[in-house]
Structure 1
Amino acid sequence: MNFRLQNWFSKKEQKYLFGAVGIFALYGLTNFISKYRIQKKYGKLCERKRNELKRSIQEFRESQNLSTGLTQELEKQILNSTIADIKEILFEKKATVKQVLLVFINRTLSVATSDNLNLITDINFTEALLEAEKQDQEISQDPQIIYKYDLFGIPVSVKDTYIHKGFDNTYGLASRLFKPATYDGIQVSLINKARGIIFVRSNLPQLAMTFESINRIFGRSLNPWNKDRAVGGSSGGEAALQAARCSVIGIGSDIGGSIRIPAAFCGVYGIKPGIGRQTEVGEGIIEKAASGMINIRPSKGPLGRSVDDLTVMLRVLFNSKNYSELPCSVQDPYWQPQDLDFTQNAKKDKLKIGYIEQFNDLLPPNCMKRAVQEACQALVSKGHEIVQINLEKELEHELAVAFPRLVAAEGGFKSFEDNLQGEKIIEEYELMETGTKIPIFLQTYILAPLLKIFGQKTLHVMSKQTHGLDVYQFLVNSGKQKRMNFQFLQYLKSNSIDAVIVPGFGCPAVKHGASKVLPLAALYTWIWNTVDVPAGSMPITRVQEGDDLKIEGKERTIDLVYIMMNQNMKNAQGLPVNVQVISYPNQEEMVLRVMKEIEGVVKFNENHPYPY
């Protein structure tokens, strides 16, 4: 039977029908054209920024004499130096501040630009050289000035998100381009007060919320240990600058592992202070809901190549005297820094250290567990007591899932879309975005049971955590978080545990694109943001052949997550493996002390020279 409109609708109804279809078609076309224009506009902005950066680099090369006048041997020594080493070189007049800075500028131009590792978003070379020349004049008048300021003569890099006068803080978003800051934020101001020389800004992911540093402006950053691997995120460019020896010390930020994941992927040191010890102010402000999360807040901390250097930078960021001298317009009225003070924990000679080799919601490969064992052995050799942490199953699970449950509570990726402002999202977020947009009914009663039926235990557990919540349920989960945090810290306290050693991440550095399918690996870092304790990351060893590459009991599995993890472990030999050290709130000094003792035994930098 032929279908004819006149058999089903009157002429008047047909007019309404055609009108409705026309309206929908016009809306769709208008929407398509609007999105096309936005993408085209953002594409041009991104291209303009990339060209501007290349032009700035080229003009700098042509306008400056980049010869250091130093021997190759001394240049190599400087590139591998700590802050204390460089100060000694300056004091002994083996090199000037300008020469030291030129060593790191040349190194950056050689390996960190877009035609190589692609780690930077902006340069501040000319201004930095002017400051270096000024500092050299000051040294000629009084050499002791080198030791008067914590960062005097030290080249420093900063993550793109930090407020720095004259520079964009893009968060990898095209809509934030060509909107330079008009003042220096707290952290940049404190570095300047300590006479650090900020000379470069580092790359990050779009939106700064995944562990692959890629965006549509600057592109993808490459790992110095293996270019086929990610540098981590969101402070990925910063960690890679340290591993490639392009900077002496730098600062990143961390809301779910964004300092510690890059540190682990790049085999460097990093620390996330607890929220009670630092301020949220100092990075660019992102829009609406994204800046309104109070359960889990971003932390700001250093990345470097030694524990001593982390200590120096934390001393700068926590300096109460220098902070009090900043303009009131820059300060945070809710925050007063607490200076680093090691006198309290130095009184205790023998520490009791707990360790956790794995969380059962996601088992790590053997190399991650071996690193924990080696860190513990190092502490035993220093006379400390080591005990295994045995958490109740329910508490361990709550620790693992609290972060995605709280972060995804808004539902539908709304805060991300607010900040994208029409820009196309990078593919690394696509799976996450899809998960948050599935209606709760479908997630709970169709998707979750199907995943369980088909043996996808890991995805089954996590799929129930990533849907939107009403205010009541969000408050219920917030209450769970408080009780969970209290219960965990009470466990440590009741067992007289001073600090805990845990894997640095769920696996070594992932292959490019794998962050899209392995977000659960970050549970090893996001746990400590949820509990809000200081957490440091440090390199221990490198992945070896054989057992290191295996995930115990998951060599043959139908679980897609472990299948993807096993694929990621192929050709992982030689990648660095980190552990984390965590302690109680406001005990950053204890974290640094334990890291320092492990470092003294493991000697990663001596046994595993940095690549490139």
Structure 2
Amino acid sequence: MPNANLDESSWQVRAADAYAETQAKIPAAWRIDERLLAPAWIDATEDFEKVEKRVDHVLEQSGILSQAELDLVHTDVTTLVAKLQSGQLTAVETVTAFCKSAAIAQQLYRCCTELFFDRALARARKLDEDRLETGKTSGPLHGLPVSLKDQYELKGVRTTIGLTSMLDHVGKHDAAVVQALESEGAVIFVKSNVPMSLMSADSVNNVWGRCQNPNDRTRTAGGSSGGEAVLSAAFASPVGIGSDIAGSCRIPSAMCGTYGFKPSFGRIPMLGGVGCGTGAEFVLPVLGPMARSVAGLELLMQSIAATEPWNVDPTCVPMPWTPVHFDRPLRIGIMYDNGMVAPHPPISRMLKETAAKLQDAGHEVIEWNVGDMHDRAHMLAHAFFRQDGGATLSSALKGEPILPNVDTGCPGSELNADEMRGKHWEAFGLRVEYRQRWNALKLDAVICPITSHAAVRHNEFNDVTYSLPWNLLQYCAAAMPVGQVEERDLALDASYASEPARVYLEGKKGLKPSRGEAENRAIWLDEEERRSMVGLPLSLQVVTPNYTDERCLAVVRLIDELVNV
């Protein structure tokens, strides 16, 4: 819980001291040109244009990593694991390379909250020594660096969820997911940046600053697992653990052009997590893997399941990981538009092209028009999140001002016991109705947008209508990159330009105004802004029913092979 004794006038000093402490852990030999350092950019009114937008060249040109280390961090995770298992790579050289890359990424993008390189290297040395002594690896993840979202506890390390009131919260035990990963031989080496309280799709807080997108630092990295997606995109972590209650693994993956997975509740242990919001008893949060490939997602899911986490965390289901392989054409539903927020034309174009490739490969693609149900799911989820009128977060802040991008209830959004009970049963009925419609079409999976836009400017992210309903409905959902915004997308479609902005409501009277369809449409209609998005990654979402996680990732792999050849 937040520290009740925090002096309200001291939060700025404590935040500055904590950030300086983290940065001091970067060795002098791993520091970059100060002119390239990422600004804090906490204030929403700051000028985001006064910075070099793309700085990915620094990794190779800084001289901090040797050529062998550069090759290592650019190696796909399947090959990396194979080389660690065979002894072609040692744990120390692998962890060293990723610690260096993470140090660079932290300076360029503010993607981390805690750096514990010495601790990680000490574990790597022990793994190498044990292997020399026994002739055996410590497990299938032997020596593999894994990053961890700053929500889950690591013994002796802070967990802050972006709040100054949590700066004294030091883990007394390892979270269950950490125990599982380390028992398989993994090396946890950094904690990744998050939004204040986790409840935002833009990863910024008063302690660690604003997480910035490696594709363009003036654009959002998404949230709440923004730091994890940045580490993946910047070749600074081979695989990592995020979490997802409204799109928090998938949205950052979409913004940064990486892969992220929201599994079923109970497939990855939750024990040892921290939070300060409401609604998790109705919209179930999950931990999820994040990586540069679907192979990375499958690797973590399979490795964690192999540890039988249900013996540690009673919320886990006793369900081993069983890979799925298809021997028949699939029936894929496609949702082009959820009826709430129209996707930008490049998103629509990407979906149509993906559908065509699926059909050319012999699969059946069926339009999935259930926008009315997604609207209901979206509103129910927000009602659950805002049930306390923002009281829980306000209490946790201890004088620290809430940032404008944080989604929280306000006076007027409270629910009483009868309303909560009613919405609980409404959500249950919606899940039943949704599954019945799914089963009637005998769908194997659905594909749809993750968000209605590519990476937008900081503070302009405005759409969780494509991600959040799946959390309320309790479906598996994965994000995968599929191309990018292209020059051919820039010509304005007459129908998109002439269609009036839609209006949709998000709950009870009294809520602060939320960004939505009108703002989203205005972004694409601005010619200069439209042109500036060329080259940004596009992503789609693959969805399957609860506890069909293996099928979901198998469909991602199938589409990956068709589209990302």
Distance 1:207 1:469 in 2: 21
Task: Report whether the alignment pairs 1:437 with 2:410.
Answer: yes
In 2 relative to 1, CA 497–120 (structure 1 residues): closer, same or farther, beyond 3 Å? same
Give the drift of 1:322. 6.2
CA offsets 1:410-438 (integer angstroms, 9 cap, x no match): 33x12221222221111223xx55xx436
Distance 1:333 1:86 in 2: 33
**Residue of structure 2 in register with 1:538 after alignment:** 480
Distance 1:280 1:93 in 2: 33
- TM-score under structure 2 normalisation? 0.84
CA offsets 1:35-80 (integer angstroms, 9 cap, x no match): xx94431111111211211222247969xxxxxx999553333222
Which shows bigger deviation, 332-341 or 526-535?
Answer: 332-341
Give the drift of 1:130. 1.6
Matched to 1:353, the amino acid is: I
Give the drift of 1:474. 2.4
Higher helix share: 1
Distance 1:86 1:142 in 2: 22
Distance 1:386 1:184 in 2: 45
**Residue of structure 2 in register with 1:426 after alignment:** 403
Matches within 5 A, 1:155-554: 155-284=145-274, 286-287=275-276, 290=277, 293-321=280-308, 324=311, 331-342=312-323, 345-346=324-325, 348-391=327-370, 394-411=372-389, 413-429=390-406, 436-437=409-410, 439=412, 467-515=413-461, 518=462, 521-547=463-489, 553-554=495-496
Give the drift of 1:251. 0.3
- Contact 1:363–1:551 at 8 Å: present in 2 too? no
Which SS does the other structure have where 1:57 is aligned? coil
Matched to 1:512, the amino acid is: H
Give the drift of 1:334. 4.0
**Residue of structure 2 in register with 1:130 after alignment:** 122
In 2 relative to 1, CA 545–70 (structure 1 residues): closer, same or farther, beyond 3 Å? closer
Give the drift of 1:87. 2.7
- Contact 2:30–2:104 at 8 Å: present in 1 too? no
From 540, 564, 569, the counterpart of 2:519: 564
Give the drift of 1:476. 1.9
Matched to 2:11, the amino acid is: Y
Give the drift of 1:352. 1.1
Give the drift of 1:591. 0.4
- Contact 1:269–1:303 at 8 Å: present in 2 too? yes
In 2 relative to 1, CA 505–71 (structure 1 residues): closer, same or farther, beyond 3 Å? closer
Which SS does the other structure have where 2:541 is aligned? strand
- Contact 1:171–1:204 at 8 Å: present in 2 too? yes
- Contact 1:156–1:197 at 8 Å: present in 2 too? yes
Distance 1:214 1:195 in 2: 32
- Contact 1:271–1:302 at 8 Å: present in 2 too? yes
**Residue of structure 2 in register with 1:584 after alignment:** 545
Distance 1:216 1:230 in 2: 16
Which SS does the other structure have where 2:467 is aligned? helix
Task: Report whether the alignment pairs 1:83 with 2:77.
Answer: yes
Which SS does the other structure have where 2:224 is aligned? coil
Distance 1:313 1:547 in 2: 36
Percentage of matched positions with identical amino acids: 26
Task: Report whether the alignment pairs 1:109 with 2:103.
Answer: yes
Q: Gaps (5+ residues) in structure 2?
A: 1-5, 32-62, 502-514
Distance 2:247 2:195 in 1: 13
In 2 relative to 1, CA 473–133 (structure 1 residues): closer, same or farther, beyond 3 Å? same
Which SS does the other structure have where 2:478 is aligned? strand
- Contact 1:278–1:337 at 8 Å: present in 2 too? no
- Contact 2:180–2:307 at 8 Å: present in 1 too? no
Q: What is the aligned length?
A: 511
- Contact 2:238–2:291 at 8 Å: present in 1 too? yes
Matched to 2:549, the amino acid is: E
Which SS does the other structure have where 1:75 is aligned? helix
Distance 2:365 2:498 in 1: 33
Matched to 1:388, the amino acid is: E
Distance 1:390 1:334 in 2: 34
Which SS does the other structure have where 1:275 is aligned? coil
In 2 relative to 1, CA 293–396 (structure 1 residues): closer, same or farther, beyond 3 Å? closer
Distance 1:70 1:149 in 2: 30
Indicate the RMSD between aligned Cα atoms, in angstroms: 2.6
Matched to 1:274, the amino acid is: S
* Higher Rg of the two aligned structures: 1
Which shows bigger deviation, 165-174 or 468-477?
Answer: 468-477
Matched to 1:333, the amino acid is: P
Distance 2:342 2:95 in 1: 44
Matched to 2:404, the amino acid is: E
- Contact 1:365–1:551 at 8 Å: present in 2 too? no
Distance 1:177 1:320 in 2: 31
- TM-score under structure 1 normalisation? 0.78
In 2 relative to 1, CA 550–45 (structure 1 residues): closer, same or farther, beyond 3 Å? farther
Which SS does the other structure have where 2:260 is aligned? strand
Distance 2:114 2:437 in 1: 46
Which SS does the other structure have where 2:216 is aligned? coil
**Residue of structure 1 in register with 2:50 after alignment:** none
From 585, 594, 598, the counterpart of 2:555: 594
Distance 1:293 1:162 in 2: 16
Matched to 1:339, the amino acid is: P
In 2 relative to 1, CA 594–136 (structure 1 residues): closer, same or farther, beyond 3 Å? same
Distance 1:317 1:81 in 2: 22
- Contact 2:105–2:231 at 8 Å: present in 1 too? no
Matched to 1:577, the amino acid is: L
Give the drift of 1:339. 1.4
In 2 relative to 1, CA 336–483 (structure 1 residues): closer, same or farther, beyond 3 Å? closer
Q: Gaps (5+ residues) in structure 1?
A: 1-36, 63-68, 325-330, 440-466, 605-612
